[in-house]
Structure 1
Amino acid sequence: MTITQLTIFLKVAETGSFTKAGKVLHMTQPAVSRAISNLEAELDVKLIIRDRKNGIMLTDVGKRLLIQIREILQGFEKMEQEIAAEKGLEIGTIRIGAFPTASAFFLPKILRAIEQKYPNLQFELYEGIMNQVEEWLVSRVIDVGIINSSNEELEMIPFYQDKMIAVLRDDHPLQKKAHIHINDLDQVPLIICKGGNELPIVHIFEETKTTLKVKFVVHNTNALLNMIQEGLGVAIISELSLTTLPPNVQIRDVQPNILREINLAVPSLGDTSLAAQLFIDTAKKLF
């Protein structure tokens, strides 16, 4: 069993194709297939099922070994980074996952700061909803994630507090107020945007004993803003999510303050590579 074999298996699993894995690794499809067959022969287990209808599928043992193989390969990469650091070099790949708002707001600044100082570092960026980012972390697909939730399987580094604000149409009765108190929203139809916005809202309504009346649930900010513009309700959303406001839509501060905690998350701080630790340190300095 070699590092090359494990790398090939990982790419086949990730791409779902011998041909695609070969293109990524600059190998022919027969060479990829042969490497997988040799690995299965050495381990004496079937890792991959080739199905004409469904394509490539991992066996149960293949799925279990996939996480361990990622850890093995990341361990070798971590060792290479340690050796390079001893020689005064910074190399390696940082795999980063984030939800869309965090990806747009935080990552460009962090990556620019790192690239200016350490041009040899490589980045792989993954963007998805919160559950996806957490799954990528647990299964070791990524090294660092930016999430706004907590997960007992992960280690968290407090990173940023995102203020929540009220958004309403300019003819709504509440627009006359300089600040909107949560009690003002008792029984008021609300539009909720999923993806980490909803939990702080539910908590503040419970704490203030205010009745939360959810009229619509959406999954992106643009849909929410368009619905507010049509007079379908009021919303409370994170400040980071609002880059522009459509005509006839206004924002107001909310009292008491609602803060959404955004964290850096890793599978294990003790196993974090030098490159991933550099990302964490840079993010904390910048924000």
Structure 2
Amino acid sequence: MPVSIPQVRAFVATVDAGSFTSAATALGVGQSAVSHAVAGFEREVGGPVVRRGGAAVPTALGERLLAHARQVLASVDGLEAVVRPATARGTVRLAAVPTVCQGLLPRLRELWSVTLPDVDVQVYEGDDDEMAEWLEGGTVDAAVLVDPTPVPEGGVVVARDEMAAVVRRDHPLADTAAMTLDDLHEDGLVAGGGGCEHQIERMHELAGQPFRWAHRVREMSTMFGMIQRGEGVSIVPSLGRVMLPEDLVMLPVAPRYERTLVLSGPSTRAWHPLAQALVDAV
């Protein structure tokens, strides 16, 4: 099947950008070039892969091909990086959870801007469960994994981050040295914000308590809003302190629990050389 790399790249760029125009800008080519490449790809695979007339979302066929297309491009990009000159240069895609994007990546990117000035680090934000999937599927080249077991070969620990309670500044226990899980459950635990539910569940397991919650949300902004309105309290990684509204405070939780953050490339395919460069620089 004579599918070409430019066709695959145009297909993935169109899906990621949401339109042919934005994909053309990202690829640095004209819109007609992207349209022709996607149309050629569709002829070769036997059907439409992108819906027209609105946002460029993948069709059912496109969904089946997308993961394979990403893996192809990840391998091609890795091959090209190997045969380029030794100087680290190009774009590397890095995934991380929200608290890492806010609390840790700014420092890492400052380091990389000095040690790898010709490398552009593109950040993809997602939940814990998405990190390994994106990494192994080729959506990203590297990721900051949370509590990976075992630590991937070649990965490096970049931080250990203590879990902390979040309450309103006027909470009766806001001045205590630490809060217990029982203290938190008295006000109603808001769980899940920022993708750290696994860590909260593990804390309950180690304390011999059932994992229970009053509310279960996805976004940290939703969780913080509920706490501000007095609808509950929560537990988040201490890296999330930079995201905290002024009327909320963080307190230690007893017993203590730390999560381990590991910068790594994929386990099931060869690493992109620039992913290795990020790890080596750290």
TM-score (norm 2): 0.78
Are residues 31 and 220 of structure 1, via their aligned partners in 2, closer, same or farther at CA, if it must alter by over 3 Å? Answer: closer
CA distance in 1, matches of 2:279, 2:227: 37
Q: Is the 8 A contact 1:77 1:92 kept in 2?
A: no
Residues 133-189 of structure 1, C-alpha deviations (whole Å, 9 max, x = no match): 44433431211122436599x889444321112233466454564333445556553
Cα 1:271–1:208 change in 2 (3 A) is same
Aligned partner of 1:48 in structure 2 is 49
Alignment of 1:1-287 (within 5 A): 1=2, 2-41=4-43, 43=44, 45-48=46-49, 51-52=52-53, 57-60=58-61, 62-84=62-84, 87-148=85-146, 150=148, 157=155, 158-169=157-168, 172-175=171-174, 177-182=176-181, 184-185=183-184, 187=186, 189-210=188-209, 214-243=213-242, 244=244, 246-247=246-247, 249-268=248-267, 270-282=269-281, 285=282
The whole-number CA distance in structure 1 between the counterparts of 2:250 and 2:60 is: 52
Cα 1:28–1:245 change in 2 (3 A) is closer
Rounded to whole Å, the distance in 2 between the matches of 1:100 and 1:270 is 26
Return the alpha-carbon distance in structure 2 between the equivalents of residues 170 and 242 of structure 1.
Answer: 14
Q: Per the alignment, in what secondary structure is the counterpart of residue 142 of structure 1?
A: coil
Q: Hey, which of these two has a bigger chunk of strand by percent?
A: 1
Contact in 1 for aligned 2:264/2:279 (Cα 8 Å): no
**Aligned counterparts of 2:71 and 2:234: Cα–Cα separation in 1:** 42
Q: Rg: which structure is higher?
A: 1
Runs ≥4 residues deviating over 6 A: none
Answer whether contact 1:155 1:269 (CA < 8 A) is retained: no
Closer, same or farther in 2 for the Cα pair 1:170/1:269, shift >3 Å?
Answer: same
* Per-residue deviation, 1:195: 2.8
1:221 and 1:241 in contact (8 A); partners too: no
For residues 180-215 of structure 1, the C-alpha deviation after alignment (integer angstroms, 9 at most, x for no partner) is 344555655323342333322223223323465523
**211-220 or 270-279: which moved more?**
211-220
**8 Å contact kept, 1:185–1:210:** no
Point out where structure 1 has 5 or more consecutive residues left out of the alignment: none
Amino acid at match of 2:117: P
Quickly say closer, same or farther: Cα 1:44–1:120, change in 2 above 3 A.
same
When normalised by structure 1's length, the TM-score is: 0.77
SS in 2 for 1:257: coil
Note closer, same or farther for the CA distance 1:177–1:272 as it changes in structure 2 (3 Å cut): same
CA-to-aligned-CA distance 1:215-254 (integer Å, 9 cap, x gap): 333444455445445544443222111125634x544322
Report the CA distance between 1:93 and its aligned residue: 1.5
Post-superposition offset of 1:277:
1.0
* Shift in alpha-carbon separation, 1:95–1:182, aligned structure 2, 3 A: same
Q: Deviations over 1:87-127 (max 9, x none)?
A: 44222211112222111222222222222222222222222
CA distance in 1, matches of 2:234, 2:22: 44
State whether residues 178 and 252 of structure 1, in contact with CA within 8 Å, keep that contact through their aligned partners in structure 2.
yes
Q: Distance in 1 between matches of 2:211 and 2:117?
A: 50
5+ long unaligned stretches in structure 2: none
Structure 1's 180 and 271: CA in aligned 2 closer, same or farther, altered over 3 A?
Answer: same
1:13 touches 1:58 (CA, 8 Å); kept in 2?
A: no
Q: What amino acid sits opposite 1:76 in the alignment?
A: V
1:271 is displaced (CA, Å) by 0.7
